[in-house]
Chain A
């Protein structure tokens, strides 16, 4: 087992700063707006023990095959890394965190210090204190990588907290596409807390697609913060697919920092009986002439509870902002609860900002039509639910789209 002593000093100092921050904070209370509908007090958070700090990675070198690069984790250990030769030669790096701490000390140090200073809840402080594993992706300026990059976390544990971190740094004019999966090991007993953070920094004119899917065990807890900064003329397309865990609290906080910046924040969630999902998006327009769109679609089965909170915030100087947010909720049965809270805070008049929210159930006429064509009720419902999610998945890499739809179908069949 690795000892913390092997980590660079700056990282050890950061962890203890984070630890101090953690000790000085209390768990969020329901009187705080963002946590009003998600009471963390019943979760027994203090009983989760952070897994050991970064285990030294001795990952197997692998050929990424059709992908540009791949990195795999089992529990909090990196077991496999592969980067196509041409990208390696061009300067691209996909590293497990303990290597990244040395090779990319300066940017990571800055990133972590700022993230810790900005940490607005105890989970974040805990994450930086207990960073357990993760990856760094660096794409040098001007490089365009068409094939996807896979980051795969297989989580496992009972009564423990893991804190995986992913840092994605794209140089000016570069392009990449990442598919990240966090899932429980097959047959894992579950009962862990996964406290994940994804940090995305896009320099000017860069383009990133980031597709995430979460499928933890039904007894796991999941909290995940994404912090993205999109520079001038850059484009971020982020997709959040949430299916697992008994309790999930996610946040995608994206700031548009230069004219021409664009962010597309899409999400799909399926919440079954006994699950509680609280998803949040923040579109922060700091710079003029930026565009953002957020489309989150969810399905809630009887006995499930979802909360969607979306914020579009436009600073006084951000003229020429074009921002849109929509949340759709499909209620699949009695006893489902769905809250939708899209908000606008607009400080400039030269803007086009709007939001929408709809909640309803499957269209009875469409169901009737399909059943009259010979489909069973279960098949008809599946067809309509898949159709409901399909339009936000059209741009997804083939494998990701198939995986998301398979997860949805599986949940539907299990509930039937």
Chain B
């Protein structure tokens, strides 16, 4: 019947399991100075970091919840654990990882063979770096890839210089929260001229009931360097809410290039509220590739502040909002220097009652020359229950600019569907093919193993259960 939406069904969430809680150290529920001090003490932090955490806690209490964005009314801050450490020592190699944790990661699907291609893996279990190793040639090049706790202890000058300068603890309520209780994440420093050819990766997993994830990542790419960092995560299903409130700061110094790729597939009870921002200096390039498939609520707007002449920023965003999900994502580009450019490409799919919203800021300061920006948003709504919103903001204070923005919302083209079905495909197969084609330009930008994982995830979301 013409007008009826294609029939698509969601497969059961494949990763819906969790191990019994084996956290060695777990603080009480809720958040106060005692807990923040306990976290800092446990990590053997210098006084300045403890003070930073306490000031952040004060800011978190004062700051209001956002009065825009996804619906966060069910979020109960008092009913979460803010820290858990599964074991005392940091592992050096895969063999040393506890068996149940290893099994969890192996079920996600990291083949042993993959490790050859990775420079190092920081695997996070209940907010601590369980397994971490740096390949020898990276160390020889002077690249630092470690957890932020180690960086605070071993590279204090670097950390002090940049930590909290891109995303201050007062930036928003969730950045304040992260700044108070951050644990785990990555610290990356790439020296001048060094090009890290192999992508750096880290995996994250929540496995404690009512648990929060507050990893903190800081990437510093010194002049002329290049690094590609990949973050991908899955999580098991819980009865109560989980909160993932990460902060990622990137500094790309003159002529440097940083690409940061995320495929997020948190299970559908997680609140994914992340602040990600990069500063691009003269002639630097920053690229955010952001895939949001899971989570109950996502609010995430990878941003680039173009501070130096000749800087360029790109954001590629994919969002998939299924039943009960709200993906509120987008990008921000702030042009604070002349001869800068930005490109944002955002694609989203809503189905089964899901809501997908693009929220973006394009700002050009006054007195600048030769500033170019192009933003394209494409949204597919697969059925009548679902919704899509687009909220772009363009604030232009210079005249020598060329700014373009386009957004389109539609359903799967019936002509395309009819054509594919007339070739012998079922409606489900045809829909999947069209959706895959819709996402393909962005999926092509992912490293192969991620492209495969993402295509697999999309297939799972679109297909009916088998057997």
Using a CB–CB distance below 8 Å, which chain A residues touch chain B?
31, 33, 302, 316, 319-320, 329, 331-361
Can you give 29 A-B contacts (C-beta < 8 A)?
A333-B399, A334-B366, A334-B399, A336-B399, A337-B396, A338-B396, A338-B397, A339-B394, A340-B405, A341-B394, A342-B390, A342-B392, A343-B390, A344-B388, A344-B390, A346-B381, A346-B388, A346-B389, A347-B387, A348-B384, A351-B410, A354-B406, A355-B390, A356-B404, A357-B405, A358-B403, A359-B403, A360-B401, A360-B402
Q: Judging by beta carbons under 8 Å apart, are B405 and A346 in contact?
A: no
Q: Judging by beta carbons under 8 Å apart, are A358 and B367 in contact?
A: no
A400 to B5, CA, bound (A): 46
Q: Judging by beta carbons under 8 Å apart, are B387 and A350 in contact?
A: no
A281 to B409, CA, bound (A): 19
Contact with A along B424-464 (1 / 0, CB 8 A): 00000000000000000000000000000000000000000
The 5 closest A-B pairs by CB, nearest first: A349-B381, A331-B399, A359-B403, A344-B390, A349-B411
Determine the chain B residues whose CB is within 8 A of the CB of A332 once the complex forms.
399
The chain A residue sitting closest to B414, CB to CB, is A350
B393 at the interface (CB under 8 A from A): yes
The chain A residue sitting closest to B376, CB to CB, is A356
Point out which of A33, A316, A349, A351 has the most chain B C-beta atoms below 10 A from its C-beta.
Answer: A349
The chain B residue sitting closest to A360, CB to CB, is B402
Query: Closest CB of chain B to A290's CB: distance in Å?
Result: 15
A351 to B390, CA, bound (A): 15
Q: Judging by beta carbons under 8 Å apart, are B400 and A348 in contact?
A: no
Using a CB–CB distance below 8 Å, which chain B residues touch chain A?
3, 5, 67-68, 350, 366-367, 379, 381-384, 386-411
Partner among B382, B392, B397, B408 whose Cβ is within 8 Å of the Cβ of A349? B382
Q: Judging by beta carbons under 8 Å apart, are A355 and B406 in contact?
A: yes
Determine the chain A residues whose CB is within 8 A of the CB of B401 once the complex forms.
331, 359-361
Give how many A-B residue pairs fall within 8 Å (CB-CB): 118
A346 to B348, CA, bound (A): 13
Q: Judging by beta carbons under 8 Å apart, are A349 and B390 in contact?
A: no
Q: Judging by beta carbons under 8 Å apart, are A337 and B366 in contact?
A: yes
Q: Judging by beta carbons under 8 Å apart, are B384 and A319 in contact?
A: yes
Determine the chain A residues whose CB is within 8 A of the CB of B409 once the complex forms.
344, 346, 351-354
Q: Judging by beta carbons under 8 Å apart, are A349 and B394 in contact?
A: no
The chain B residue sitting closest to A354, CB to CB, is B408
Query: Closest CB of chain B to A119's CB: distance in Å?
Result: 22
Q: Judging by beta carbons under 8 Å apart, are B384 and A357 in contact?
A: no
Q: Judging by beta carbons under 8 Å apart, are A343 and B392 in contact?
A: yes
Q: Judging by beta carbons under 8 Å apart, are B392 and A341 in contact?
A: yes
Determine the chain B residues whose CB is within 8 A of the CB of A354 once the complex forms.
406-409
A33 to B359, CA, bound (A): 14
Query: Closest CB of chain A to B203's CB: distance in Å?
Result: 35
Q: Judging by beta carbons under 8 Å apart, are A360 and B407 in contact?
A: no
A340 to B397, CA, bound (A): 11
Determine the chain A residues whose CB is within 8 A of the CB of B397 once the complex forms.
336-338
Partner among B68, B389, B404 whose Cβ is within 8 Å of the Cβ of A358? B404
Determine the chain B residues whose CB is within 8 A of the CB of A31 once the complex forms.
67
Determine the chain A residues whose CB is within 8 A of the CB of B404 once the complex forms.
356-358
Partner among B384, B388, B407 whose Cβ is within 8 Å of the Cβ of A350? B384
Q: Judging by beta carbons under 8 Å apart, are B367 and A334 in contact?
A: yes
Determine the chain A residues whose CB is within 8 A of the CB of B382 once the complex forms.
349
The chain B residue sitting closest to A317, CB to CB, is B384
Point out which of B3, B384, B396, B404 has the most chain A C-beta atoms below 10 A from its C-beta.
Answer: B396
Given contacts A344-B390, A349-B381, A351-B410, 15 further A-B contacts (CB under 8 A): A320-B3, A333-B399, A334-B367, A337-B395, A340-B396, A342-B405, A343-B389, A345-B387, A351-B409, A352-B409, A357-B392, A357-B406, A358-B402, A361-B399, A361-B400
Determine the chain A residues whose CB is within 8 A of the CB of B393 once the complex forms.
339, 341
The chain A residue sitting closest to B374, CB to CB, is A358
Determine the chain B residues whose CB is within 8 A of the CB of A33 once the complex forms.
68
Determine the chain A residues whose CB is within 8 A of the CB of B383 once the complex forms.
349
Determine the chain B residues whose CB is within 8 A of the CB of A333 once the complex forms.
399
The chain A residue sitting closest to B375, CB to CB, is A357
A334 to B403, CA, bound (A): 16
Q: Judging by beta carbons under 8 Å apart, are A344 and B407 in contact?
A: yes
The chain B residue sitting closest to A340, CB to CB, is B394
A385 to B406, CA, bound (A): 23
Determine the chain B residues whose CB is within 8 A of the CB of A340 once the complex forms.
394, 396, 405
The chain A residue sitting closest to B388, CB to CB, is A346
Point out which of A302, A329, A344, A358 has the most chain B C-beta atoms below 10 A from its C-beta.
Answer: A344
A331 to B402, CA, bound (A): 10
Query: Closest CB of chain A to B132's CB: distance in Å?
Result: 44
A334 to B393, CA, bound (A): 21
A340 to B375, CA, bound (A): 13
Query: Closest CB of chain B to A279's CB: distance in Å?
Result: 14
Determine the chain B residues whose CB is within 8 A of the CB of A345 once the complex forms.
387, 389
Given A319-B3, A335-B366, A349:B405 Cβ within 8 A? no
Given A319-B384, A359-B396, A359-B403, A352:B367 Cβ within 8 A? no
Q: Judging by beta carbons under 8 Å apart, are B411 and A350 in contact?
A: yes
A351 to B387, CA, bound (A): 11
A333 to B391, CA, bound (A): 27
Determine the chain A residues whose CB is within 8 A of the CB of B381 once the complex forms.
346, 348-349, 351
Determine the chain B residues whose CB is within 8 A of the CB of A338 once the complex forms.
394, 396-397
Query: Closest CB of chain B to A239's CB: distance in Å?
Result: 23
Q: Judging by beta carbons under 8 Å apart, are A342 and B400 in contact?
A: no
Partner among A319, A335, A344, A356 whose Cβ is within 8 Å of the Cβ of B389? A344
Point out which of A336, A347, A361 has the most chain B C-beta atoms below 10 A from its C-beta.
Answer: A347
A373 to B389, CA, bound (A): 48
Query: Closest CB of chain A to B336's CB: distance in Å?
Result: 15
A352 to B408, CA, bound (A): 8
A21 to B3, CA, bound (A): 45
A331 to B369, CA, bound (A): 13
The chain B residue sitting closest to A323, CB to CB, is B409
A108 to B334, CA, bound (A): 49
Query: Closest CB of chain A to B398's CB: distance in Å?
Result: 7
Determine the chain B residues whose CB is within 8 A of the CB of A329 once the complex forms.
396
Determine the chain B residues whose CB is within 8 A of the CB of A359 once the complex forms.
394, 396, 401-403
